[in-house]
Structure 1
């Protein structure tokens, strides 16, 4: 029987619940540590920031620390100075093995019929918290629910969570991971203490790559760091999914707009859309998305980054002038909508890629064969 996929696992790298360190988020970690040690631990924290920046890793660090110490005086006696818990500690091992009775993780469930993860967190998942918080807690007296990602809840799930947050359980702690907090109900946001995690500097990304034994040349490490835009998770995803090669291949196709190599487009679509290439497909969509955003920013007068592929900045300037910024913003939005709709309907991914290039050709001012 194949292992059920996890929405927040990147290739063969450690899952956030298995990570013993968190790089570059000292300020956010200190805010939670100080609140706990002062006896002012808020019952719900909204951890925000770009995808892959370390929010889930922080959530698990908080959960382990709170379960390990329980009370500020115990943490003081243990001379705790941050949220770290030794990997050999039973609490660490239980959380990593998903066997700690005082931790409930809510995320998108697996759809046995469709053989893939659901696109949203349904209300049934959130309702599990009622029984969870109704049970008596073990050592330390805390029960902790991690929702990852909170902005993937459907409307009914959000309303169910809101009811719980309005009357929070004693010694209950909610840790909400959110990539797009603006999608959450304002009433949910108002009942949480928001903590924004910041993008890492290139040195921090390099540290993450080294810590995860990513083997790459110095030139490639710099390129990965720039493409990652401060997100450690994205840097690892690019490294694991052959993201640099995909990027170079993708940009070569984009530079030929409005008449890209048709055979090249089909070959690229076959590569990222084939069965078992979920990671490559996701990476390709993200890289294209970011390239279009950079095109719009460049067209609006923002300073361009140094080329990762020779001539790409000139291509962005040419396309921005040819299609107009409003047109490119419209195309970017339509591509995102098309990708989301295709995932919801389980559409053939090759058709998604071909449709994207069709939209790009049109925006660039000409269609192949016109």
Structure 2
């Protein structure tokens, strides 16, 4: 396998039902022109979109078409995503993602579809993150989808399909992707993370909860160490010293994407506590129980506060160090550190 970017992934793990639904329509010559692929972040939406593009753009030489798609050089494939470089920008973790897909991206789609297919067949547009399109871009894409040219295919992905314009959503066939089961997830990670040992892959699979793309990002961001740190934070002394807070922040920010990864893992740790507490409350056997959270509402509000903190920090380009200190201070002030 040459890489872990969705366009480079050679083997699709899971999502057999979605692939079969599309393949039946393609083989029967009744392919709908717009498909909305939805599911959790990292679950494989973009990977599936590229696999579907390979089917449609295979032509007389499927291997050559696949290589071009993997390299990002196929002339009849346009990819729109929130990269800093626009519609055809290369995936580059160093680049800061824009907050949304904008009207210029939609205009690029229109220009692309007005050209004749270079290979004489279909033209395919992948919009990765349709739910992140602003209203102007969404309306422009809607007009293109309402009156598509011949042999034009739209493959649209959305982690939050409810944010997609209802009129746009109604023009699409829907493919909803579920989390991978444990065995499929481990098989995917064996392909995507061949240099990691089985124990690491299992731990990453647990953290990623059926989303292989999420596991790959966690691996790149030292997610296992940050997960342990998140657990240590929640088990810390109820009134930690200022020096402790600075040590935590320094440890987080040594990682390139430490801020967002740590806040996500801390939020997920709190969510896991809430889920475990609810399960224990509804058990009616007499088996020993782990402590039930004393104030689940406070834990839930804290989780929401952390999610908002991350969103505001990234949207407003706030200082990561100060935001982390604010979050740790909040956990201490509401009295959640070191308590069930």
Question: Normalization by structure 2: what TM-score?
Answer: 0.86
**Structure 2 residue 90 is matched with structure 1 residue 110:** no
Residue of 66, 72, 82 corresponding to 1:98:
72
**Equivalent residues of 2:38, 2:176 under 8 A apart:** yes
**Structure 2 residue 34 is matched with structure 1 residue 44:** yes
In 2, distance between residues paired with 1:353 and 1:201?
34
In 2, distance between residues paired with 1:215 and 1:111?
31
In 2, distance between residues paired with 1:111 and 1:259?
45
Please list the CA deviations of residues 241-281 of structure 1 after superposition, one character each: whole Å capped at 9, or x if unmatched.
2211111122011112633454333222223335xx33333
Deviation at 1:343, TM superposition (A): 0.7
Residue of 127, 151, 158 corresponding to 2:131:
151
Please list the CA deviations of residues 6-55 of structure 1 after superposition, one character each: whole Å capped at 9, or x if unmatched.
xxxxxx94211111111112111111111100111111111111111111
**Equivalent residues of 1:111, 1:118 under 8 A apart:** no
Structure 2 partner of 1:167: 147
Shift in CA distance, 246/365, structure 1 to aligned 2, threshold 3 Å: closer
In 2, distance between residues paired with 1:40 and 1:139?
21
In 1, distance between residues paired with 2:248 and 2:159?
29
**Equivalent residues of 1:227, 1:235 under 8 A apart:** yes
**Equivalent residues of 2:38, 2:158 under 8 A apart:** yes
Shift in CA distance, 363/141, structure 1 to aligned 2, threshold 3 Å: same
**Equivalent residues of 1:104, 1:146 under 8 A apart:** yes
Equivalent residue of 1:110, what SS? coil
Equivalent residue of 2:298, what SS? helix
Residue of 288, 307, 318 corresponding to 1:347:
318
Deviation at 1:366, TM superposition (A): 8.1
In 2, distance between residues paired with 1:132 and 1:365?
53
Shift in CA distance, 253/43, structure 1 to aligned 2, threshold 3 Å: same
Shift in CA distance, 162/268, structure 1 to aligned 2, threshold 3 Å: same
Please list the CA deviations of residues 66-102 of structure 1 after superposition, one character each: whole Å capped at 9, or x if unmatched.
0114xxxx8xxx9xxxxxx5xxx22112112222111
Equivalent residue of 2:10, what SS? coil
Structure 1 partner of 2:12: 22
In 2, distance between residues paired with 1:285 and 1:144?
36
Residue of 263, 288, 294 corresponding to 2:266:
288
In 1, distance between residues paired with 2:85 and 2:314?
13
Deviation at 1:348, TM superposition (A): 0.9
Shift in CA distance, 156/236, structure 1 to aligned 2, threshold 3 Å: same
**Structure 2 residue 25 is matched with structure 1 residue 35:** yes
User: Unpaired runs of 5+ in structure 2?
Assistant: 87-93, 283-288
Equivalent residue of 1:259, what SS? coil
In 1, distance between residues paired with 2:205 and 2:236?
26
**Structure 2 residue 201 is matched with structure 1 residue 201:** no
**Equivalent residues of 1:49, 1:178 under 8 A apart:** yes
Deviation at 1:132, TM superposition (A): 0.8
**Equivalent residues of 1:150, 1:177 under 8 A apart:** yes
In 2, distance between residues paired with 1:106 and 1:253?
39
**Equivalent residues of 2:263, 2:306 under 8 A apart:** no
In 1, distance between residues paired with 2:144 and 2:83?
21
Shift in CA distance, 115/243, structure 1 to aligned 2, threshold 3 Å: closer
Question: Normalization by structure 1: what TM-score?
Answer: 0.80
In 2, distance between residues paired with 1:220 and 1:111?
34
Equivalent residue of 1:137, what SS? coil
**Equivalent residues of 1:48, 1:179 under 8 A apart:** yes
Shift in CA distance, 302/138, structure 1 to aligned 2, threshold 3 Å: farther
Equivalent residue of 2:331, what SS? helix
Residue of 265, 277, 285 corresponding to 1:299:
277
**Structure 2 residue 185 is matched with structure 1 residue 211:** no
Deviation at 1:302, TM superposition (A): 5.9
Structure 1 partner of 2:113: 133
